[in-house]
């Protein structure tokens, strides 16, 4: 009888554990209705300085409240929305020699693992490791990340909606030659180091 009771209780235990696991997971949508999410990039070590920005940012973050280091996510950048300080340079950048925007309209960073610590004020700091894909080329990179969970933040921003905000940002550098970006252009003219800054608000509606 005891054995039968244990067998009957096992599914309940598993379901309870699964429910608790799901309760600790929260998905935050990066698609901002206001279009405020954005990033900037620069290449300043060459003879031709490059400064640009964009706000076509989408994707989602799956935050694990109990184990933030297990959080996952994917950030998608719309390449065609990138703008440089010069319209001529912007158009040139979209060409096959550089970003090849027609063939590769998006760039992505997909988080696969991380090292994160949570501070007493609700902020998170750590490193996110994942796959950075540009021009169809994928490399594993690690980037520093800071994040802040704001309960009721959606109400503060929109007024007519309820939910929480996950504010996160990063700053990192990659080598353009790793992704065959302007590979025929010498780094003396166009820096090989691309510095990226990203700042976003992820939303969990209730």
Q: Across the strands, what pairs with 110? A: 74, 131
pLDDT of residue 23: 56
Q: Where are the domains of the chain?
A: 25-205
pLDDT of residue 164: 96
- At which residue do the structure tokens 């004020």 appear? 121
pLDDT of residue 5: 52
Give the C-alpha separation, 90 to 106, whole Å: 16
Phi-psi region of 91 (alpha: psi -120 to 50; beta: other; left: phi over 0): alpha
End-to-end CA distance of the chain: 45
Compute the chain's Rg from CA coordinates. Answer: 21
* Topology classification of domain 25-205: Lipocalin (2.40.128)
pLDDT of residue 94: 98
Q: What pTM, to 2 d.p., does this model score? A: 0.85
Give the C-alpha separation, 49 to 61, whole Å: 33
Q: Across the strands, what pairs with 193? A: 175
- Judge whether residue 163 has pLDDT over 60: yes
pLDDT digits (tens, 9 = 90+) for 174-202: 999 999 999 999 999 999 999 999 999 99
Give the C-alpha separation, 168 to 81, whole Å: 21
Residues of the chain with pLDDT > 70: what percent? 88
pLDDT digits (tens, 9 = 90+) for 89-127: 999 999 999 999 999 999 999 999 999 887 767 689 999
């Amino acid at each position: 009888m005891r054995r039968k009771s244990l067998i009957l209780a096992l599914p309940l235990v598993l379901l309870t554990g699964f429910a608790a696991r799901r309760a600790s997971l929260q998905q935050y949508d990066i698609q901002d209705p206001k279009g405020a999410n954005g990033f900037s990039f620069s290449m300043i070590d060459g003879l031709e300085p490059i400064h640009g920005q964009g706000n076509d940012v989408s994707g989602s973050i799956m935050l694990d409240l109990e184990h933030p280091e297990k959080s996952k996510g994917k950030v998608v950048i719309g390449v065609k929305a990138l703008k440089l300080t010069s319209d001529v340079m912007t158009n040139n950048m979209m060409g096959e020699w550089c970003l090849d925007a027609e063939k590769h309209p998006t760039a992505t960073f997909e988080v696969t693992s991380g090292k994160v610590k949570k501070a007493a004020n609700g902020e998170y700091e750590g490193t996110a490791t994942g796959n950075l894909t540009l021009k169809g080329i994928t490399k594993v990179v690690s980037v520093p990340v800071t994040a802040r969970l704001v309960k009721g933040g959606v109400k503060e921003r929109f007024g007519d909606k309820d939910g929480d905000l996950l504010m996160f940002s990063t700053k990192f550098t990659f080598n353009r030659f790793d992704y065959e970006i302007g590979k025929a252009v010498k780094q003396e003219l166009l820096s090989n180091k691309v510095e990226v800054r990203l700042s976003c608000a992820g939303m969990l509606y209730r």
